[in-house]
Chain A
Amino acid sequence: SQKIEQNSEALNIQEGKTATLTCNYTNYSPAYLQWYRQDPGRGPVFLLLIRENEKEKRKERLKVTFDTTLKQSLFHITASQPADSATYLCAPPGSGGYNKLIFGAGTRLAVHP
C-alpha cells in the first residue's frame, strides 16, 4: 500500500537558520506532491505543490524539491522565524483519481529565538 514517511521527531532549530524537512514515499509514483502547514487545533493550510516534472519550486522563504528517483521530497524554510513553528505535512495524491490526499504523520518544527 502507499506509504508516506516523515521525520517523526520534532525538529528544533535556531531563528535565522534553514529548516529542512524530509518526506519519503513508497509503493507508488505520484504525479505531484503537496506540503501543508498545521497549527495545533486547526486545519491544514496549503503551502506549495510540486509536480513530477519540476525539480524545485519556490515561494518566498519556502523551497520544495521532488526527486522521483529517490522517491523523496525535501521542504526548506530559509531564514526561519519563531512564527514558522508548526507541524508540516507532506501529501501526495492517492491512487484512483479524485485527488484525495495521503498525508504523512507530519514533522513538528520548533524555531527558537
Chain B
Amino acid sequence: DTGVSQDPRHKITKRGQNVTFRCDPISEHNRLYWYRQTLGQGPEFLTYFQNEAQLEKSRLLSDRFSAERPKGSFSTLEIQRTEQGDSAMYLCASSYSGGGDEQFFGPGTRLTVL
C-alpha cells in the first residue's frame, strides 16, 4: 500500500495559464475527494467522485475548474485561466465505501500563481 500520491508536488505558473494536477488514490478505494487549503485554514471541499461518477461539486468550483476520474482510478483537476486567488494547496483524499469513514490524504500539490 503506497498511499495516495499527487503530482506535481509544486507548481508555479503565470496568471492566465492552465494547470492540471493528478491524484492516484489507494488502489481499492472507490471514493475520491478534492479539497483546497489556504494558509491558516482547514481544507475546503471541492468535489467528490464515486468510481468514475462525479457526484458532488462545491460552489467553490467555478467554471474554470474541472475534474475527471475517467476509469474510476486516478483523477485529474484542471484549472483554466489561473488567477492569483487560485494559489493554494490542492489536496486529494480517498476512501473505501465498504470500510470506515476516514479519508486518506495525499501530500498535496502547492500551486503558486504569479
A residues within 8 Å of B by Cβ?
4, 32, 34, 36, 41-46, 49, 89, 91, 93-94, 96, 98-106
Q: Quick check: which of B12-20, B41-49, B67-75, B80-88 contacts chain A, the rest being far away?
A: B41-49
Nearest-Cβ distance from residue B100 to partner chain A, whole angstroms? 7
Distance in angstroms from A103 CB to nearest chain B CB is 3
Given A42-B108, A43-B108, A106-B42, do A34 and B56 touch, yes or no (CB 8 Å)? no
* Neighbour of B41 across the interface among A34, A43, A105, CB < 8 A: A105
* Contact A42–B107 (Cβ < 8 Å): yes
CA separation between A4 and B42, bound complex, in Å? 10
Across the A-B interface, give the 9 residue pairs with the lowest CB-CB distance, nearest first: A103-B42, A43-B105, A46-B102, A100-B45, A44-B105, A98-B48, A103-B43, A105-B42, A43-B108
A-chain residues with CB within 8 Å of residue B31 when the two chains form the complex: 98-99
Chain B residues with a Cβ under 8 A of chain A: 4, 31, 33, 35, 40-45, 48, 50, 55-56, 91, 93, 95, 100-108, 110
Bound together, the chains give a CA A5 to CA B72 distance in angstroms of 34
* CB of A102, distance to nearest CB on chain B (Å): 7
User: Is the CB–CB distance between B50 and A98 below 8 Å?
Assistant: yes
Given contacts A43-B91, A96-B56, contact A101 B104 (CB under 8 A): no
Cβ of A73 to closest chain B Cβ, rounded Å: 14
CB-CB under 8 A for A105 and B105, given A49-B100, A94-B45, A98-B55: no
Given known pairs A98-B55, A99-B95, A100-B56, the reply for A46 and B104 (CB within 8 Å) is yes
Output the least CB separation between A26 and chain B (Å): 15
A101 touches B43 (CB 8 A): yes
Q: Within the complex, which residue of B40, B42, B91 is in contact with A91, where a contact is CB–CB below 8 Å?
A: B42
Q: Which residue of A lies closest to B4 (CB)?
A: A43
How long is the Cα–Cα vector from A15 to B41 in the complex, in angstroms? Answer: 26
On whether the beta carbons of A34 and B44 are closer than 8 Å, the reply is: no
